Amino acid sequence: MRLSRLTYLILLCSGPKVTSLKKHKNKIVVIGNDPNGAMYGLFDVIETLRYSGSLKKVNDKLINPALNDRFIKFNLPWMSYRKGEALQVHMETCRDTVFWESFLDMMALNRFNRLSLWNLHPFSYMVRPENFPKASPFTDEELADWKKFWKTLFSMAKQRGIETYIVNWNIFVSPEFTEHYGGA
């Protein structure tokens, strides 16, 4: 396979949520409406090369997703909705940024662009409320480690064009809040 005679040109233009691939002689042009569209167009070229073995198989086409928002819902294991080995076994895995790098790469390659992270009490893993400082179970050092984790995760997602959402689904306060301030 000779790639030396093929020129790649990436153009970004505004317009509808459509990415197009255009082939003209020895040029492949990927036109994306935004950086994500260009990335998806490049993925299409790479997949064509991977599965056919030749860039000659790249054809003109429009790539228009059927859905603008393509979500993955991810239940985080800490403060899960119930206790049990199956739910707690992946605590360390979910704290590992190498896991998230691989997971987010998989999302991008499969054109997912939204990640929702579900947890009963996610906010005590991110901040120490001024009015309720004892609601957080963590020391300052532990909370700093959690903040570093979240910033890294959100940054990696953004680099891949993935929006992140934090979702909590309860009407209860955390056990630490109840212990120090009362409540249900």
For residues 115 and 72, the answer to whether their CB atoms sit within 8 Å is yes
Could you tell me if 75 and 50 lie in one domain?
no
DSSP tag of 184? -
Could you tell me if 43 and 79 lie in one domain?
no
Could you tell me if 58 and 104 lie in one domain?
no
- Between CA 23 and CA 61 the distance in angstroms is 9
Could you tell me if 17 and 75 lie in one domain?
no
Residue 142 is part of which domain span?
71-181
Could you tell me if 162 and 88 lie in one domain?
yes
**Residue 31 falls inside a structural domain:** yes
**Residue 132 falls inside a structural domain:** yes
Domain count, the chain: 2
The pairing of strands 27-32 and 19-24 is: antiparallel
Residue 108's pLDDT is: 97
For residues 142 and 102, the answer to whether their CB atoms sit within 8 Å is no
Could you tell me if 82 and 37 lie in one domain?
no
pTM of the model: 0.84
Could you tell me if 58 and 20 lie in one domain?
yes
Residue 143's pLDDT is: 96
Residue 152 CB contacts under 8 Å (≥ 6 apart), including other chains: 97, 100
Residue 184's pLDDT is: 62
**Residue 1 falls inside a structural domain:** no
Could you tell me if 105 and 18 lie in one domain?
no
Residue 182's pLDDT is: 85
Give the residues of the chain that fall short of pLDDT 70: 1-17, 184
Q: Quickly tell me which residue has 């790639």 as its tokens.
A: 3
Could you tell me if 30 and 113 lie in one domain?
no
Could you tell me if 54 and 78 lie in one domain?
no
CATH number at 177 reads 3.30.750
Could you tell me if 57 and 100 lie in one domain?
no
Residue 173's pLDDT is: 80
DSSP string, 72-107: EEEE-STT-SS--HHHHTTHHHHH-HHHHHHHHHHH
Q: Which helix (H) or strand (E) holds 178?
A: helix 175-181
Going through 3-89 in order, the beta strands assigned E by DSSP cover: 7-12, 19-24, 27-32, 61-63, 71-75
